[in-house]
Structure 1
């Protein structure tokens, strides 16, 4: 009983071997991640247009629930930049920022996202994320990073500006630029510069003064906290809030409250599509990070169980005053590098954040929003990768077009249009490429039993024999292409007597493809030719044997292409040796 139960509760697996050494490593990792998450959680809530405490709330219960249900031992779950931006775009359409309805919509969005992820996990639909190509995801995240950074410039400048697209943001920023608060700009610019320097320059400095690597790591991760402390004290000492510097203000000093999502039909209908998109993007980002980190320790990630873990985390966020969460790249890498051994490190991080929510919130009353904006800008600019355009242009023009379209639409029309376009483009590219399968005319490599493309290799062929290797499964979208290819090839060659379809790369033949094969067989028979198959895989043959196709087949089914070549080319005709192609 314990074995199948541990599949759904991974904590029962790693919990059996938990010891004092693992506890020590997890506690140290939790300390480092907690230090990093305090300002980051506040900042991401600001990005979503929500009260800062909701960032802390969204980082407590979700982490604990993921530790119970998730399969990654290093993934750190909580608010992330892209999901925060998508949250702001989604709930901004149904309620005004700063209102109770806006907060309720964010909580409901988390509940819907959690429910979608749970259902996908229960029905084992993790494979659906594969339809969102990584180049498209990279393009979307790059465009989102630019949008996020642009949206935070208003806090750096101390002005009132807004917009959901890059054009709207730039226009609004330009219009309000004369209203810039120079003190806010000074604080924001200093915090931004300091945080950029922390990423590259602080650790070598700490190592240079004799600190250990572990101490230097902790000091580097504490850099954002130092920026928070210094700017907060500066605002308090010089009473800068009275001079127009926007501050966080009152933050409730409490543990996450018990909240209930608003599941009214109108709100659910308005938020369902955004929740679906957030779920897909969040899962793709999370599973990519989890699998990358797991591979470094030869651990296994179960995508379907990850859906359940992330679903539980979002449900937890909905009932504890949070908003949609997923596995974050930066915090997970920090967690991994800090030595986290099990998901318990995340639970200890949640405890640290709960203590911060109880004890530290009064201390951030004078925290300038410009510092939180600087934290966001520095974090998201590391996600911006315009190099993906050059790489895809070099490797695949179709992928380049998909990435470019995703970036342009996200910047020009907002995140929902961008991610929707990314999903549609990914599916379209899959259908387009698979609808025109690679078909190679092959011949025998002299002195071997191997067959290769006649355009790439010197091979032996027979004038009466045509062998085609189909490098794709056959289904409704590509069988017409195969039919046309065969007809165009055979109609102009009066010497042909036999056509062999080499099926070594075919993993599936659906009903439409079966009907096309029957049509090809009949057409070739009318032309006085026979159709043969070779190297048919077992599962494909099993299905063909359940139909009448093999009974009506004019030719044979050969175990290997060499057998077909030997049998059908044994009519005494001399093999030909094509020139290089």
Structure 2
């Protein structure tokens, strides 16, 4: 094979990770993947139905979104353990996105969800091909944690109407709670008994069933499988009760007829108005889903010293969402709980997801008629138990202690998500994070530094006993220089130099400067000229290679009144050798 052909093959293989791990696939990996697939399938069947209910969609769309998307991710994804499918937060965002359009017709609502999946998939694919995975870094972890916590509370509250058998609506927590309170007198006792009972059972299953089974003599692996099957047991028992006792005739809401068969091939509606209306929501869902998915994938990969490629993850998730759109599903991403289960169950490769898809296919073919009498209260219990594990109020305490700016971002995100809605909440969180970043970097930490006695190190004169001389001022700026902070550096130096008659040299220590943009370059030129007019020479020290390359392409170094020193020690001692004889001093922090 020619070198050109080999290079082409390598480039093609980069977009198909299966060509890498597939070459090493063996019987041991097959066995591990099959076991993991069985466990995740058991978990995913009730979750898929429940999350479709949360999104306001027919139950079967949850199953459809759990088949071909898993196969697509197995082909294009890089995580060995990530389990893709419907998740709570994305389901809630789907409901909010379509709800904003005021769609009430069920068929049009479902069609909008399919378009949302397609838009999300296309956006993720485009971001992956353009290698824009870094854009997700604009969503800080505290903001995501605050958003997920607030969303978890809204999701749990939204399901109480199914638990209690009453009607309630609202896109934020306050509206939901008020509507629940108004309709509480209409509570259906039979539905409440099923819903509360299923919820308590599922909470107990999460913590208590596995230890009990082990005490009864079961091996840990089998006990774990049976514990994961807890939601299936709840579904089976409550469905049988509803069927046998005719509880649907007593007002218990049931899933009803679920179409039997494989997912249909669907062609998303090409309605320009609908696409434009959903575009902003699709972008938010894409970014939130990607961040959540990559966070889980990287955490699990680190445990086995494996590598995740974020840009390829965008392609994998994009392909999964496109697959969901063409098979009657709705937006999907990597789920935290099922991915952890997949990892703990021993999944070795993404093939475990493909095997899970086969399991869901079999369920869609054989089990859907049995779901007719499944109470919606049971599915609501499944959702509540799953999402409450995502609620983490400790993020408020941690950010308050560590960073008031991060606390502000978290608090605003949570407050707006709970009080206004999910899209406004996460949008405000992202915007506030960016504004706080710009504010912090626009006022970088600037330190006047001196020589630590007996060393060649320079440290902040307000924190260490250091040696300085009146003729030389060394300033260290701990941030890259760009348009937002360039004037701040100018003002700092002018204020510091003004009135200091004995000053002859100013050294800008650039050890923490990774970038100097055009605006900052103009500021450096202005500083150089201003200092020259004051009879002060301007020098640079410890300039990094990439920064020096940029400066050399400009005329700045030709006009620089001083020199560029490789090391700060060389600069300070050469400009005034008497520095070495000075008595160390410590100035108190103002």
- Fold similarity call, TM over 0.5: yes
Q: What is residue 28 of structure 1 aligned with on the other side? A: 35
* Shift of residue 492, structure 1, vs aligned partner: 3.5
Structure 1 stretches of 4+ with a deviation exceeding 6 A read: none
* TM-score normalised per structure 2: 0.97
Whether the 8 Å contact between 1:497 and 1:528 is mirrored in structure 2 is: yes
Q: Indicate if the aligned counterparts of 1:95 and 1:105 stay in contact, CA closer than 8 A.
A: no
Q: Calculate the aligned-residue CA RMSD, in Å.
A: 1.0
Local SS of the residue matching 1:71 = coil
Aligned pairs (5 A) from 1:111-150: 111-150=118-157
Which of 416, 441, 445 in structure 1 is aligned with 2:452?
445
The match for 1:427 is 434
Partner of 1:351: 358
Q: Give the one of 176, 181, 202 matched to 1:174.
A: 181
| Distance in 2 between residues matched to 1:173 and 1:57, nearest whole Å | 31
Q: What is the CA–CA distance in structure 2 between the aligned matches of 1:117 and 1:223, rounded to whole Å?
A: 34
Pick from 264, 281, 294 the counterpart of residue 274 of structure 1.
281
Cα deviation for residue 4 of structure 1 reads: 2.6
Is 2:468–2:579's contact at 8 Å kept on the other side of the alignment?
no
1:521 is aligned to 528
Following superposition, the deviation at residue 93 of structure 1 comes to 2.1
Equivalences for 1:355-374 in 2 at 5 Å? 355-374=362-381
- Matched with 2:308 is 301
Aligned equivalents of 2:183 and 2:415: distance in 1? Answer: 25
The aligned runs of 1:31-42 (5 Å cut-off) are 31-42=38-49
Whether the aligned pair in 2 keeps the contact of 1:72 and 1:343 (CA below 8 Å) is yes
Is residue 72 of structure 1 aligned with residue 79 of structure 2? yes
Per-residue Cα deviation, 1:405-439 (whole angstroms, up to 9, x for no partner): 00000001100101111111121121111111111
Instruction: Say whether residues 1:564 and 2:535 are aligned partners.
Output: no
2:387 corresponds to which residue?
Answer: 380
Aligned twin of 1:575: 582
The change in CA–CA distance for 1:383 and 1:417 in structure 2 (over 3 A counts) is same
Compared CA separation, residues 563 and 51, structure 1 to 2 (3 A):
same
**Secondary structure, aligned partner of 2:577:** coil
- What secondary structure is seen at the aligned counterpart in 1 of 2:573? helix
Change (3 A) 1:573 1:353: closer
Which aligned pairs between 1:224-235 and structure 2 lie closer than 5 A?
Answer: 224-235=231-242
- Equivalence map 1:35-50=2 (5 Å): 35-50=42-57
TM-score by length of 1: 0.99
CA contact (8 A) 2:114 2:328 kept: yes
2:165 corresponds to 1:158? yes
Post-superposition offset of 1:376: 0.3
Q: Deviations over 1:418-476 (max 9, x none)?
A: 11111111211211111111111111111111111111111111111111111110000
Candidates 446, 451, 465, aligned match of 1:458: 465
Contact 1:144 1:410 in 2 (8 A): yes
Measured at CA, do residues 161 and 573 of structure 1 come closer, stay the same or move farther in structure 2, by a change above 3 Å?
closer
Q: Distance in 1 between matches of 2:549 and 2:62?
A: 55
* Map of 2:201 onto structure 1: 194
Partner of 1:247: 254
Q: What SS does the corresponding residue of 1:22 show, helix, strand or coil? A: helix
Tell me if 1:436 matches 2:443: yes
Aligned length: 581
TM superposition shift of 1:493: 2.0
Counterpart of 1:493 in structure 2 is 500
| Distance (Å, rounded) in 2 between the aligned partners of 1:404 and 1:94 | 28
Q: Which residue matches 2:3? A: none
**Structure 1 range deviating more: 62-71 or 490-499:** 490-499
Q: Assess, with a 3 A threshold, how the Cα gap between structure 1 residues 352 and 469 changes in structure 2: closer, same or farther.
A: same
Does the alignment pair 1:551 with 2:558?
A: yes
Distance 1:98 1:344 in 2: 38
Contact 1:95 1:101 (C-alpha < 8 Å) held by counterparts: no
Structure 2 unmatched runs, 5+: 1-5
1:580 CA drift (Å):
5.1
5+ residue gaps, structure 1, are none
Alpha-carbon distance between aligned partners in 2 of 1:5 and 1:214, rounded to the nearest angstrom: 39
Deviations 1:177-226 (A, max 9, x none): 11000110010000000000011101100110111111011011000101
For the residue of structure 1 that corresponds to 2:212, the secondary structure is: helix
**2:473 counterpart SS class:** strand
Query: Are the aligned partners of 1:39 and 1:375 in contact in 2 as well (CA < 8 Å)?
Result: yes
C-alpha distance in 1 between matches for 2:205 and 2:423? 33
Matched, 1:537 2:548: no
Match of residue 243 from structure 2: 236
Q: Give the match's secondary structure for 1:473.
A: coil
Question: Do the aligned residues in 2 keep the contact of 1:95 with 1:102 (CA within 8 Å)?
Answer: no
Q: Distance in 1 between matches of 2:223 and 2:470?
A: 73
Partner residue, 1:4: 11
Contact 1:62 1:78 in 2 (8 A): yes
| Secondary structure at 1:253 match in 2 | coil
